[in-house]
Chain A
């Protein structure tokens, strides 16, 4: 019977955790848009936005405020319900993926134990993949319901791109899971704390995963669904006001989450390399905060790399994109998986 008893503190703890993670996602996404503009400027020998507030730090607020006050246009020929559902779905799926990521070491103080993770479910990483696949619908529905040929083209491109790049992504993930033996995110991290980061054993797997993450986030060089020059901004061409803002924002939240996933899967999550930080005897609160900031540092580095790549290389042609996905990345990740499986089997014997 005790299963049915509702633990009010447990619910409260999770609600606070969920609210703060969503707040964090929004905050990071907001300032990633700012970082995008700043880094783009720096890489092109410019200064970037520096008028709104000191160093321009209020620029994202100004951008967001502008989007709120823009006129909201719903095309006459569009399907009204689906047209609104598209950006909502993109946003929701972007936010849900953060649930299974361990954001830091658990806060352990005597008998109380608070995990900095919304849900440490057994299928862990698979949830991320499942939800990311649903994220395709945000783009597809948005592009289709706009009733515009460019949007439809972009939606088809986006869908086929995301489906093709999920395959090598999943295959390179299997190699990681073979080493860990668990899908649980917390166990993947603790395995890395004990045995060293997965990037040391899976450099090829990481590169494949990273390339696929770029494709999943629709980032350059895989930003074909929103190709400005050829598709007039693709699937969000007909969108205005905050619905457009949701699409753009969802992209940045996706970037944030996939950076966190990469840090967790390949770079030891919240672990500091070469030292055993649990032996320092820090107070539980400080220890949790420190592990959280270590993870955030890794995430920020990945976000920088995302932006750095975007402002370095041009977009792939569609056939090059498909070639790279199906003829290069999938065989490579298959080979990687087989070698890992053989080695795991041989070493565990």
Chain B
């Protein structure tokens, strides 16, 4: 039976016994050393991480950020749509009613008194961002840093809230990244 060749790159294996010079391996070793020497002068593939970071793709979905509006009021109204949308059930929240004296802190009458995301459960799908009607949550371009315990991965409001756009302008802009700032309402 004749077998048909799949490619024309097949090479017959040379099974002749080695000659004396070949059996000293010297020439093959010299060839191998030339190959490694070439690599000595190659560009290194290493990225020195803490100093140098790889850029993320624009669609990268990283840690969550709770957004504020241009006056620094929290957008979240604790409607719970993000928690409903979350396929990993990573989001929990407790709602509270805004007091008249807190009008500069929260944009609407209801706000999230407690807002937690378990980063060990989260699958970073971004469905919470899509579900949010108030542009209150979005995924940033940083990832969750390592931690010593599981508790450290439950992110509270302090970790999630974006810095205040007026009082901490520099940090705010850094956290915003290439996202457009919240429109004045």
The reply to whether B33 and A308 form a contact with Cβ atoms under 8 Å apart is yes
Q: Which residues on A sit within 8 Å (CB–CB) of B39?
A: 42-45
Q: Which residues on A sit within 8 Å (CB–CB) of B43?
A: 45
With A43-B39, A309-B33 as given contacts, are A328 and B48 in contact (CB-CB < 8 Å)? Answer: no
The reply to whether B24 and A328 form a contact with Cβ atoms under 8 Å apart is yes
Q: Which residues on A sit within 8 Å (CB–CB) of B35?
A: 312
Q: Which residues on B sit within 8 Å (CB–CB) of A311?
A: 36
The reply to whether A43 and B36 form a contact with Cβ atoms under 8 Å apart is yes
Closest chain B residue to A45, Cβ basis: B45
Check: A207 CB closer than 8 A to any chain B CB. yes
Chain A, range 42-72, C-beta contacts under 8 Å to B: 42-47, 50
0/1 per residue, B13-43, Cβ < 8 Å to A?
Answer: 0000000100111100100110111011011
Check: A313 CB closer than 8 A to any chain B CB. yes
Which of A43, A46, A309, A313 meets B45, CB within 8 Å? A46
Which of A45, A309, A324 meets B24, CB within 8 Å? A324
A268 CB, nearest partner CB in chain B, Å: 23
Q: Which residues on B sit within 8 Å (CB–CB) of A323?
A: 23
Check: B46 CB closer than 8 A to any chain A CB. yes
Number of interface residues of A (CB under 8 A): 17
Q: Which residues on A sit within 8 Å (CB–CB) of B151?
A: none
Interface size class of B (residues with CB under 8 A): 10 to 19
A46 CB, nearest partner CB in chain B, Å: 5
Q: Which residues on B sit within 8 Å (CB–CB) of A44?
A: 39
Q: Which residues on A sit within 8 Å (CB–CB) of B42?
A: 45
Q: Which residues on A sit within 8 Å (CB–CB) of B29?
A: 309, 312-313
Closest chain A residue to B26, Cβ basis: A207
- The residues of B with any CB-CB pair to A shorter than 8 Å are 20, 23-26, 29, 32-33, 35-37, 39-40, 42-46, 48
Across chains A and B, which 7 residue pairs bring their CB atoms closest together, nearest first? A312-B36, A47-B46, A43-B36, A45-B45, A312-B32, A312-B33, A42-B40
A-B contact pairs, 13 of them (CB 8 A): A42-B39, A42-B40, A42-B44, A43-B39, A43-B40, A45-B44, A45-B45, A46-B46, A47-B44, A308-B36, A309-B33, A312-B32, A312-B35
